[in-house]
């Protein structure tokens, strides 16, 4: 089921990327695109697979020329879990369009019927690999780890892999 979901997500991301390439938008300088709103979908607890679920995420990222930039995120999965947090991210452009983006986000995890992570306070560390189109639109794939850093009696952690579409706020409204 998860493999089928990933194939569909990759197909959708590819179609979005293709549409973006054919759009006749002017090139937007990297930081002038304004804040970014991210829409993500993927697999929760992918590596351990004990409590695998489908994950969806909504994320707000401040887009400026600072080395560390603020972000706010909300994640929910099909087992009723939710994670909300505020953190920081950075962008390392490897080429004009290809980038690597590490982030760190402390937050609150509500378990629902999902995996017991051992504590309501959790920390998400993430590595994202993406492509920025001339219009400012971005597509990416990321892997993250959520853990309570030993604050609870249990600390099994979990990993997720997601595909994201990041849209400049000004293109939505």
Q: What is the mean pLDDT of residues 62-85?
A: 94
- Domains, the chain, with CATH or none: 2-172 (2.40.160.20)
- Residue 93, CA distances (Å) to 19, 78, 129, 165 in order: 23, 34, 10, 17
pLDDT of residue 28: 61
pLDDT of residue 30: 67
Q: How far apart are CA 56 and CA 62, in angstroms?
A: 20
Given a cut of 80, whether residue 18 has pLDDT beyond it is no
- 7 pLDDT band (50/70/90 cuts)? low
Structure tokens belonging to residue 83: 């994670």
Q: How many CB atoms lie within 10 A of CB 8?
A: 12
What confidence tens digit (pLDDT) does each residue in 119-159 have?
999 999 999 999 999 889 999 999 999 999 999 888 999 99
pLDDT of residue 80: 96
pLDDT of residue 22: 39
Higher-pLDDT residue of 143 and 31 is 143
Q: Is 0.75 topped by the overall pTM?
A: yes
């Amino acid at each position: 089921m998860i493999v089928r979901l990933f194939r569909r997500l990759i197909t959708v991301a590819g179609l979005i990327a293709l549409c973006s390439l054919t759009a006749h938008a002017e090139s937007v300088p990297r930081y002038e695109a304004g804040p970014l709103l991210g829409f993500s979908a993927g697999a929760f607890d992918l590596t351990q697979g004990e409590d695998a679920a489908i994950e969806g995420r909504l994320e707000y990222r401040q887009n400026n020329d600072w080395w560390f930039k603020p972000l706010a995120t909300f994640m929910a999965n099909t087992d009723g879990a939710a994670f909300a947090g505020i953190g920081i991210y950075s962008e390392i452009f490897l080429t004009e369009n290809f980038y690597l983006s590490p982030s760190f986000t402390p937050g609150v995890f509500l378990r629902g019927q999902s995996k017991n992570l051992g504590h309501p306070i959790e920390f998400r560390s993430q590595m994202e690999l993406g492509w920025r189109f001339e219009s400012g639109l971005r597509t990416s794939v990321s892997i993250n780890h959520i853990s309570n850093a030993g604050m609870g009696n249990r600390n099994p952690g979990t990993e997720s892999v997601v595909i994201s579409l990041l849209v400049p706020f000004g293109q939505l409204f």
